[in-house]
Amino acid sequence: MNVLTRARQSGWPLRKLRALHAAFPLLTVLASCGGQQSSLNSAGQDASAILTLFWVMLAGAIVLWLVVNGAFYYISRIAPGRFDQRYARHLLIGGGIILPTFVLTALLVWGLSILPDQRQKGDGLVIKVTGEQWWWRVEYWPEGAETPIITANEIRLPVGKRTEFRLTSAQVIHSFWVPALGGKMDMFPGRETLISLAPDKVGTFRGQCAEFCGASHAWMAFSALVMEQEDFDQWLAKEAGNAQPVASEPAARGAAIFDAQGCGACHAIRGTKAVGQVGPDLTHIGSRQSLGAGRSKVTLQDLQTWITHTEFLKPEVKMPSYDLDPADLSDLARYLEGLK
């Protein structure tokens, strides 16, 4: 039973019901304004600038709406009648040409002046992100590094620092967007675009491809974790290392199944014979926030479901679904879940 139905049954006056009915769509919209993927929940300098621009534009639109409708109400209800031709001409030229030109020009100049920070260089760390179908290849390039630290479907950033992103795509156009941290930037095959983000709040935020890129576009997301500098440095040093040795017999059997099924031809696990570059790097998959670029969590059950129903969970994905013996499937999932 919805809110409006309860209100009717409670005997509310008709006037209040109409007001509630008019406000209900607005309340529904406002209820979705928070969360990890919201431009109104800013957690970075660039998102704050965009949010300020939004509120100023919204306030201007409200004032304009009130002025236009107020003028219409005045001439149609309060003082209806014929207008002097000269007065009407001045009204059209001043209100219809001069005022909009002045206001829009001022807003444009001001808006452009507060947004260039997203094109600035970072404070040393560079993250290269490649949009694949349908996942994210992520490479960390610390200042002075000769080789990258490779991961997938997740980015981690130090709070209070500006990080430079170099974006490209492998097959089709994608768009990189973390609403809580900044604006979006398109990613083109064969071309590199630049954006930088300066988060000012620690937390976990959701990123999303904002450009339709194919059948699994809706399932092309990633987690953006903003960390204290010390925690980030420790994580990055650990992320650069090889996969930890297997810690149990089931995991060891799972590693053997991984090799026997040829998974290493597509996936890389540093420190093992798996060096594939077709799919995401799995070296530390067990420590990530999500599986399949935001499709599932990284749990034993979700790993098993992903392995056996990949094409169902992510239409047109290159990875085939595997029909494994339940015991083998469990061991393989334990091996992958232990890669932390």
Q: What is the DSSP string of 32-85?
A: TS-SSS-TTS--BHHHHHHHHHHHHHHHHHHHHHHHHHHHHHIIIIIS-S---H
| Locus of tokens 């053997």 | 256
Q: For residue 19, is pLDDT > 70? A: no
Assign 310 to helix, strand or coil. Answer: helix
Tokens of 143: 């200042």
pLDDT of 8 > 80? The answer is no
Residue that is written with structure tokens 């490479």 in the block: 139
Start and end residues for every CATH 2.60.40.420 domain found in the chain = 120-239, 249-337
Burial class (CB in 10 A: 0-12, 13-18, 19+), 186: middle
Q: Which of 22-31, 114-123, 258-267 has the lowest mean pLDDT?
A: 22-31
Residue pLDDT, tens place only, 61-98: 898 889 888 888 888 888 787 777 887 788 788 878 88
Residue 39: count other Cβ atoms within 10 Å of its Cβ: 17
Residue 275 burial (10 A CB sphere; 0-12, 13-18, 19+): exposed
pLDDT tens figures, 181-227: 999 999 999 999 999 999 999 999 999 999 999 999 999 999 999 99
Q: Which CATH class is domain 120-239?
A: mainly beta
Q: If 0-12 CB within 10 Å is exposed, 13-18 middle and 19+ buried, where does residue 180 land? A: buried
| pLDDT at 23 (0 to 100) | 56
Strands 163-169 and 193-197 come out as antiparallel
Given this model, what pLDDT does residue 5 score?
56
Q: How confident is the model at residue 39 (pLDDT cuts 50, 70, 90)?
A: confident
Q: How is residue 126 written in tokens?
A: 């560079």
Q: What angle do CA 219, 225, 228 make, to 5 degrees?
A: 175
So what CATH class is 249-337? mainly beta
More confident residue, 35 or 60: 60
Measure the CA angle with vertex 322, ends 313 and 297; round to 5°: 40
Q: In the chain, what are the helix, strand and coil shares in percent, each to the nearest 5?
A: 45, 20, 40
